[in-house]
Amino acid sequence: MEHLTASLQTLGLNEVPQLANLATFPTYNQVDIYRAHIAELLAPITGVAAETVYPLLQWTQVLEYGDVMLPVPALRIKGKKPDALALEIKEQFPESPLVLPPVAEKTFVRFFFKPGPLAKLVLPSILKNSTKYGFNPNLGLKDPKDPSSEKKKMIVEFSSPNIAKPFHAGHLRSTIIGGFLSNLYEAAGWDVTRMNYLGDWGKQYGVLAIGFEKFGSDEALEANPIGHLYEVYVKVSAIAHDEAEQVKALKAKIVELEGKNESVVEQQAEIERIEKEGIDQQARDYFKRMADGEKDALAIWARFRDLSIVKYKQTYARLNITYDDYSGESQVKNESMETAAKVLAEKKISEESEGAVLVDLTKYQKKLGKALVKKRDGTTLYLTRDIGAAVERHQKYNFDKMIYVVASQQDLHLAQLFKILEVMGDEYAEVSKKCQHINFGMVLGMSTRKGTAKFLDDILRDVGEKMHDVMRSNEGKYVQVENPEQTADTLGISAVMVQDMSGKRINNYEFDINRMTSFEGDTGPYLQYAHARLCSIARKAELTPEQLASADWSLLTEKHAVDVIRSLAQWPDTFVNTIKTQEPVTVLTYLFKMTHMLSSSYEQLNVMKAEPEVKKARAALYECARQVLYNGMRLLGLNPVERM
C-alpha cells in the first residue's frame, strides 16, 4: 500500500482513494482505484454517496465503450431524464489526474483512463505480483475486508466416474469444469477440497466380481485396471443379458405349449435353474455379502477400487488435477442413511408404498415428482446415498459451500436431493442451503478414430496424435521443437479443454477434433501459440527482470500499446466477474480478445529493432501480457508451453 501511495502521489493524487465500508482492493485491482476516484468526483455532482456510486461503475467488455462506465438510471435520481443527467455529469466532471474528460452517450457516461498513469499503475503491479496478478485472495475470507479473518470452506465434487464403466463425455466435462471452478475459488482465497465421488457401489459391482472370477486376469488388472474391468464387465453383462433373453423365450414357449395342453415341466425347470444359478442371482448374492460387510466379498472389490484410483490419478495428473478426497457411493455409512430414513419417516416426509419407501415431492413442486428412497428389498439407492453423503461431508468438512459439477441430465436428481434435505430441517436444511448444482450440456459425437471413445486416456491419446500430425505439417517449425511428442500431448489436452470451455456450460457442443486442433480460430492451440510467441520475444530480448522493472513506461504511447495496457488492466475485473458467472468462457473470451489485440500489435511495436529504452519498455509490456495470459491459462487448468 505504501508503494501504491507513493506512485499515486507522483501522479498527482494525495492518497489512495478508498471508500469506508466497502471492500475495495486497490493493491489487487488497479481499476478499483479508478472506481473509488471517479465515485468521489461524482458524489458532489450527482448528490449520490460515493459508496453507492462505486459498485455501479461497471467494467466494459469492449474498450471502445470506455474503461468503466456508469449506467445513469442506476443512480435512481428522480425527476431528471437519464440522458440529460448523463450530459450534466459529463459537463460538470472536473479535471482529473487519472481519467480523461468523460463521454456521455445516451443514458451512459463512459470513462477512459489516461494512458500514462494507467501504464505506471498497472504494469509494475503485474511484474511484481507475477503468477498472482489478477487474483484476489480476500474474496473467500469470512470477512473480505479483514485479511486476518478465516477462509471459507468449499467442497467441489467433480468428475465422479463409475468404476468398470466408460468414462463418458459427461465425466469429461465435469472434470474440466470442476477443475476450473476449484482453481477459481482457490485463487479467490477459499479453502477448497476437491472431491471425486466414485460410482463404486450397487449390484453391478456384484456382477463385476462374478465376472472377474470367470474372465479376470490379475496381470491384466494390474496393467490396465480401468480397461480390464470394463472388458470383464462387458463380457459378464453379455452372459447376463443372454440369460434374461433365454428366460423370456422360455416363458413365451410355455404360453405356447400351455395353449396346446402340452407339458411345460422341462421349460419351468430350466427357468428355475437360470434364476437360481444365473449371473443375476449370483451378483445379487455377492452384492448382499458386500453390503453386509463380509470381508472376502469386500476384499476383491476394494482391490478393483484401489487399482482404478491409481490409474485415475495418472490421467487426472495430465489435466493438472489432483484430488483431496476420493470418496464414493460405497463410502456412505449405513448409519447416516438410517438416521436420515428415520427423520424422513418421523417427519412424515416419506411414505411406504408397496413395500418401498418414497418421498412425494409434488407437494412442494410439481415437476420434482416422487422420489424412491428405499427399494422393496431394503437396499439403498443413488439418491439415498447422496442424502447420507451430503451430511457426512458437512460433518467432516464443515463447508460453507458445496458445488456438485454434474451433467444437466441429472438436474432432477439434484433438485430432488436438495429439496429433500431442505424439508428435513435442522442440519439437513443447513446443508441444502449451502449446496449448488453446476450443470452443463452434452458433448455430441465424441468418438475416436478407433471407434467410440470409452476412456479419458483414449480421448487424450487420439487428440494428441492428431495434434502431432498438425505440427508435422509445418516442417520448418517442427524440427525446432525439442520434445514433439510431449508438446503434442500438451497441445492436444489444451485443444480438448478449450473446446469444452468455449461456450456457456449449459450448451451442447459437437466434439470436432479437426476444429479443436487447428491453430486458426479461437482454439487451445491458438492460445498456446500466443503464449509461446511471447516467450520467444522474451528469449530474444535477453533482459533481466530487474531491467524490465526499470522500464520507462512513458515510452508506451502508441495506440496499440495503450490498448494492450487497458486490456491487461481488465484482467482482475474479469476474474471477479468470472466468480459471478461461474463460466470458464468468461475467462476464455477475455484471453482471446487480449491475444488478438497482441497479434495485431507485433508489427507496430517491434522489440528487436527499437532503440534500447523503447526496446526495454516494449519487452516489459510483452512480459506483462505473457504473465496475464499465463495466469488465465493456469486458471483454466491449461499447461502453457514455452516453445512449440
Q: Considering the complex, what minimum distance in angstroms separates the CB of residue 168 from ligand ARG?
A: 8
Q: Which three cell numbers stand for residue 385?
A: 446415498
Rounded Cα distance, 162 and 228, in Å = 14
CB of 199 to ligand ARG, least distance (A): 3
- Shortest distance, CB of residue 388 to ligand ARG, whole angstroms? 11
Shortest Å distance, C-beta 441 to ligand ARG: 15
Distance of CA 481 to the CA centre of its chain: 31
Catalytic residue among 120, 168, 374, 419: 168
CB of 606 vs ligand ARG, minimal distance in Å? 52
203 carries an active-site annotation? no
Residue type, 410: Q
How many Å apart are CA 351 and CA 626, to the nearest integer? 61
Query: Between residues 155 and 633, which has the closer beta carbon with respect to ligand ARG?
Result: 155
The residue among 161 and 206 lying less far from ligand ARG, judged by its C-beta, is 161
- Please confirm, yes or no, whether 3 is among the known catalytic residues: no
Which residue number has the CB closest to ligand ARG? 199
* 386 contributes a contact to ligand ARG by CB under 6 A: yes
> Shortest approach of ligand ARG to residue 403 CB, angstroms?
11
Contact between 388 and ligand ARG by CB under 6 A: the answer reads no
> Residues touching ligand ARG: how many (CB under 6 A)?
8
Question: Is 171 among the catalytic positions?
Answer: yes
Marked catalytic residue, from 171, 374, 468, 615: 171
User: How many C-beta atoms lie closer than 10 Å to residue 91's C-beta?
Assistant: 11
Please select the residue that binds ligand ARG; options are 199, 225, 464, 524, rule is CB under 6 A: 199
| Cell reading at 443 | 458433448
Q: Does 563 bind ligand ARG (CB under 6 A)?
A: no
CA distance 452 to 306: 26
Nearer of residues 438 and 591 to ligand ARG, judged by Cβ:
438
CA distances from 381 to 221, 339, 439 (A): 28, 15, 22
CB of 37 to ligand ARG, least distance (A): 47
Secondary structure (3-state) at 336: helix
Instruction: Copy the grid coordinates of residue 13.
Output: 493524487
Q: Alpha-carbon distance 58 to 69, whole Å?
A: 5
Q: Residue 496: which of 451, 462, 545 has the closest Cα?
A: 462
Calculate Rg over the CA atoms of the chain. Answer: 30
Q: Which residues of 177-198 are buried (b: 16+ CB within 10 A; e: fewer)?
A: bbbbbbbbbbbbbbbbbbbbbb
Q: Which is nearer to ligand ARG, 167 or 287 (CB)?
A: 167
Q: Render 167-211 in DSSP notation, one character per residue.
A: --HHHHHHHHHHHHHHHHHHHTT-EEEEEEEEB--SHHHHHHHHH
Q: Does residue 106 sit in helix, strand or coil? A: coil
Asked if 197 touches ligand ARG (CB under 6 A), the answer is yes
List all residues 6 or more positions away from 290 whose beta carbon is below 8 Å from its beta carbon.
Answer: 205, 206, 209, 297, 298, 301
Closer residue to ligand ARG (CB): 139 or 403 = 403
- If the CB atoms of residues 165 and 593 are measured against ligand ARG, the closer one turns out to be 165
Is the CB of residue 199 less than 8 Å from the CB of residue 329? yes
Closer Cβ to ligand ARG, 17 or 166, answer by number: 166
| Helices and strands of the chain, counted as H and E runs | 26, 16
Three cell numbers, residue 82: 437519464
Which of the ranges 145-153, 154-162, 496-504, 598-606 carries the binding residues for ligand ARG, by CB under 6 A?
Answer: 154-162
Considering only the stretches 155-163, 368-376, 426-434, 536-544, report the one whose residues sit in contact with ligand ARG under the rule CB under 6 A. 155-163
Q: DSSP 3-state assignment of 24? A: coil
The one catalytic residue in 165, 251, 413, 504 is 165
Interface residues for ligand ARG in 156-175 (CB under 6 A)?
Answer: 157, 160, 162
Binding string, residues 395-424; x marks residues near ligand ARG by CB under 6 A: ---------x-x------------------
Residue closer to ligand ARG by CB (options 386, 457) is 386
Task: Find the shortest distance in angstroms from Cβ 158 to ligand ARG.
Answer: 9
- Active-site residue numbers? 165, 168, 171
Footprint of ligand ARG on this chain (CB under 6 A)? 157, 160, 162, 197, 199, 386, 404, 406
